Amino acid sequence: MSRRSARPDHPSFLPMSREEAREQGIEEFDVILISGDAYVDHPLFCTAVIGRVLQDSGYSVGIIAQPDWKCNDDFQKLGTPRLFFGITAGNADSMVNAFTSRRMRRKNDVYSPGGVPHRPERATIVYTERVHALYPDIPVVIGGIEASLRRFAHYDYWDDKVRQSILADAPADLLVFGMGERQVTGIAYHLEKGEGIDCAYDILGTVWKISPSNWRRVKEEQEWVEIPNFHSVSEDKEAYARAFAIHYREQDPIRGRPVVQEHPKTVIVQNPPSAPFTPAEIDHIYELPYLRKAHPSYREPVPALEPVKFSVVSHRGCFGGCAFCALTHHQGRIIQSRSEESLIREVTALTRREDFHGIVQDVGGPTANMYLASCPCWEEQGACSEKSCAISCSSLQVNLQKQIALLRRLRSIPGVKKVFIGSGIRHDLVCADPSPYLEEICRYHVSGHLKVAPEHVSASVTSCMNKPGREIFEEFQKRFEQAVSRSGMEQYLLPYFMSGHPGCSIDDMIQLAEYVRDHHLYTEQVQDFTPTPMTASTTMYYTGLNPFNLEHVHVPKGREKQIQRALLHFREKKNYHLVREALLTAGRPDLIGGGWNCLIPGRPSEEKSLRKK
C-alpha cells in the first residue's frame, strides 16, 4: 500500500511542532497522531511504531503527545491533517495507568517525563471529543490498548458497571484493534484516493458503527455473529458471560467472522482480526529507523524508556491463553516471529551507538521462549476455538533450541557483552523440553533473577486462570536448581503470584502463603488481581460465572480481596490484623504463634523478637 518510500537518509524524530515540520520540508501533515504518552521513538512504544510505519508508507506524520485537554491550543498546534487524526491513550489503558487495584490514584506515570501524570482519565474519549469539536469534518481513528480492549460493551472496574463500546461513547469514525500497522496504512490508502472513511469499513482488524435503521437493512446481506446487546449484557450477567464467550471464539484471523453488538443509539461491527505478519513483514516494521530516545523537548527522562531502551522484540502473540490476560484479543494466539538475520542486524546496529554499553536488556515478546513456535493448523484453520494450545497438543511445535541458537549468535556479535531475557519465560514449555535449555539460559541470559509466573499453587485457582498446575512449577523449580548448580552461577527464581483472582478462596490463599513460607520465596512480585476490559477473568469477576461453561465461580471482593493480598505479605507488620482475621476465620489458629510453621506471632508485639530468632 506504499505510495512512495519516505524513510529518511538521516532519521529524525517525527515532528511535534510546525518548526520541526518545516525543517523536514513538511508543509502539511497527512496524519496527526495524538497520544496520552510522551513521545518516545522506540519500537516498544505504540505511537512511534504507527508513526514510523505511516512515514515508511509515504505519509507525513505529526505527533501531539500528552496534550492539555482542558483547552484547544495543543490540539490545534499542528494544524489540520490532510487525511485523518489517529488517537490513542498510549501504551496502557488510562484507567489502569491512573489507579491501583484498590482504586487509589497513582502518584506516578512512567510514560510521562519525570513520571509526572499528564493525561486525563478515559483519555481516548476525552481527546476524541476535543478533536471532533474542533475538526468535525476530519476523520478520527482511535486505537491502542485502551480502544482495542473496550471495543464491545465491557465491565469497567472503576465505574463498577458495564459501559458501552468505546466507539459508542467516543465521536470517532473507526476503531483499530490489535497492533494496527496494516489497518492504519489501509485507512490512509483509502482516504488518499479521495474515498470516504466508510470505504475503510472492510479492513480487517477494525471496528465500525452503523445506525440501527441501516443495520436492519443490511443484516441479511452476509454472515454476522450477533452477541447479546448492550441492554442485555448490562442487566443480565449470564448474557454478559455468553457474549464474552461468543466474541472470544471469533478472535482469530483465519476462522473469525464479523461480530455485531447492538447499542441504544448505534450498532457496533467488528471485522475479523488482521492477518498475521510474515517474518519479512515484521522484520521490516522493527527495522524502521527508531532513534530509541525520548523527544529532545523533554527536560526530564521518561521512566518507561530506561528498562527497555536496548530491548529487542523477537516475536508477537501468545498461545498461553491465561484468563486474566487480554493478549488473545490484541496480539492473538498465533506466534509471529522475526528472522534471526533481522534480529542480528538490529543488535549489530545497537553496537554502533555511543550510548550502548554492551547490554541487550531483553530479547523476547509476551513470552520469550515462544519464539518460532508454530502449529500446522494455524495457517489453514487458525488457532483451535474450543481448546487452548497446550504442551500435550501434538500439533504444537516448540523447539527451544531455536531460541538458544538465536541467543548464541546474538551474544557473539562484537560489542555485545550480555544478552538477557528480561520478559520472562513460560516454565511449562521448559518442563516439556528434554534439552539443557535452562542451564544455558541460567549461564548466559539471566541477570540474577529469572522471572516466571506460576500465579498460584491451588489447583482450583490455576484452573480458573488457565495456568499450569503446582506440579509443573515444582518440576521447573527442581530443574532450575539443578541448572544453577551446573552453571556455577548465582541465580534466583523470581515467581510472580496473584491474589484475589476469581475462584480463589481464603483457604486457597493460606495454601499459597504456606508455600511461600516453605520455599523461602520473596513476595515482592505479588499482583492483586485487577479486572481489566476484555479478559475471561474480568468476566468471572463481574458475573460470578465461568464464561465458557457458565459454572459459578467464587469471587473475592471488598474486605476479602484485601485480606487475600495481605496473606501473601504475611511478614509485614502492617498486615498482622488482616492475616490474623483470615487464619481465625479459616479455622487455622495453628498458623498463629511461635512455631516454625506459623505465619504470624501470637501478638503483634512478638513479631520483632521472633524475626530476630
Task: Look at residue 289 and tell me if it is in a domain.
Answer: no
pLDDT band at 434 (very low <50, low <70, confident <90, very high): confident
In this predicted model, what pLDDT tens digit does every residue of 401-432 receive, in sequence order? 999 999 999 999 999 999 999 888 999 999 98
Count Cα neighbours of 296 within 13 Å in the Cβ-side half-sphere. Answer: 7
Q: Which of 210, 231, 250 lies at the terminal end of a domain, its last residue?
A: 210
Q: Are residues 459 and 607 in the same domain?
A: yes
pLDDT band at 3 (very low <50, low <70, confident <90, very high): very low
Higher pLDDT, 146 or 376: 146
Q: Are residues 148 and 185 in the same domain?
A: yes
For the chain, the residue count is 613
Mean pLDDT of 375-395: 76
Task: Look at residue 271 and tell me if it is in a domain.
Answer: no
CA distance to 59, 61, 288, 466, per residue, from 6 (Å):
7, 11, 11, 45
In this predicted model, what pLDDT tens digit does every residue of 12-29 receive, in sequence order? 999 999 999 999 999 999
In this predicted model, what pLDDT tens digit does every residue of 510-561 receive, in sequence order? 999 999 999 887 666 678 999 999 999 999 999 999 999 999 999 999 999 9
Mean pLDDT of 601-613: 56
Instruction: Please choose, from the candidates 184, 114, 112, 189, the residue with its C-alpha nearest in 3D space to the C-alpha of residue 144.
Output: 184
> Do residues 297 and 12 touch, judged by C-beta distance below 8 A?
no
What pLDDT does residue 391 have?
Answer: 55
Residue 232 three-state SS: helix
Q: Are residues 420 and 328 in the same domain?
A: yes
Degrees (nearest 5) of the Cα angle 245, 247, 253? 125
What pLDDT does residue 487 have?
Answer: 82
What pLDDT does residue 9 have?
Answer: 60
What pLDDT does residue 381 have?
Answer: 85
* Alpha carbon distance 146, 167 (integer Å): 11
> Do residues 426 and 398 touch, judged by C-beta distance below 8 A?
no
* Alpha carbon distance 445, 435 (integer Å): 16
CATH number at 354 reads: 3.30.750.210
CATH number at 504 reads: 3.30.750.200
What pLDDT does residue 613 have?
Answer: 41
* Alpha carbon distance 16, 547 (integer Å): 45
Q: Are residues 407 and 494 in the same domain?
A: no
Candidate from 119-128, 226-235, 320-329 with smallest mean pLDDT: 320-329
Q: Are residues 435 and 460 in the same domain?
A: no
pTM of the model: 0.93
Task: Look at residue 3 and tell me if it is in a domain.
Answer: no
Task: Look at residue 320 and tell me if it is in a domain.
Answer: yes
Q: Produce one character per residue of 322-356: b if its CB has 16 or more CB atoms within 10 Å, e if not.
A: bbbbbbbbbbbbbbbbbbbebbeebbeebeeeeeb
Task: Look at residue 220 and tell me if it is in a domain.
Answer: no
Residue 355 three-state SS: coil
* Alpha carbon distance 345, 434 (integer Å): 31
Mode of pairing for the β-strands spanning 61-65 and 31-35: parallel
Q: Which domain holds residue 493?
A: 448-613
What pLDDT does residue 435 have?
Answer: 85
What pLDDT does residue 607 have?
Answer: 47
In this predicted model, what pLDDT tens digit does every residue of 455-496 receive, in sequence order? 999 999 999 999 999 999 999 999 999 999 888 888 888 889
For 440, the grid coordinates are 544455558
Mean pLDDT of 344-365: 96
In this predicted model, what pLDDT tens digit does every residue of 285-336 receive, in sequence order? 999 999 999 999 999 999 999 999 999 999 999 998 899 998 888 999 999 9
Helix 558-568 crosses helix 576-585 at what angle (to 10 degrees)?
Answer: 110
* Alpha carbon distance 443, 210 (integer Å): 57
In this predicted model, what pLDDT tens digit does every residue of 232-266 receive, in sequence order? 999 999 999 999 999 999 999 999 999 999 999 99
What pLDDT does residue 524 have?
Answer: 64
Which amino acid, one-letter code, is at 48? A
Instruction: Please choose, from the candidates 468, 369, 469, the residue with its C-alpha nearest in 3D space to the C-alpha of residue 423.
Output: 369
Mean pLDDT of 79-105: 95
What pLDDT does residue 387 have?
Answer: 66
What are the phi and psi torsion angles at 480 (to 5°)? -65, -45
DSSP 392-447: T-TT-B--HHHHHHHHHHHHTSTT--EE---S---HHHHHT--SSHHHHHHHHS-S
Task: Look at residue 279 and tell me if it is in a domain.
Answer: no
Q: Which of 393, 421, 446 lies at the terminal end of a domain, its last residue?
A: 446
* Alpha carbon distance 398, 248 (integer Å): 24
pLDDT band at 8 (very low <50, low <70, confident <90, very high): low
Mean pLDDT of 365-372: 93
* Alpha carbon distance 556, 501 (integer Å): 7
CATH number at 149 reads: 3.40.50.280
Q: Are residues 430 and 535 in the same domain?
A: no
What pLDDT does residue 317 have?
Answer: 93
Residue 154: pLDDT over 80: yes
What pLDDT does residue 383 have?
Answer: 85
Task: Look at residue 332 and tell me if it is in a domain.
Answer: yes
Task: Look at residue 396 and tell me if it is in a domain.
Answer: yes
User: Which positions ≥6 away from 117 have C-beta within 8 Å?
Assistant: 98, 106, 107, 108, 109
Q: Are residues 431 and 459 in the same domain?
A: no
Residue 573: pLDDT over 50: yes
Q: Which of 446, 472, 499 lies at the terminal end of a domain, its last residue?
A: 446
Q: Are residues 414 and 490 in the same domain?
A: no
Residue 609: pLDDT over 50: no
For 174, the grid coordinates are 473507526
Q: Are residues 423 and 553 in the same domain?
A: no
For 367, the grid coordinates are 513470552
Q: How many domains does the chain fold into? A: 3
Q: Are residues 91 and 152 in the same domain?
A: yes
Residue 399: pLDDT over 90: no
Q: Are residues 548 and 589 in the same domain?
A: yes
Q: Are residues 337 and 420 in the same domain?
A: yes
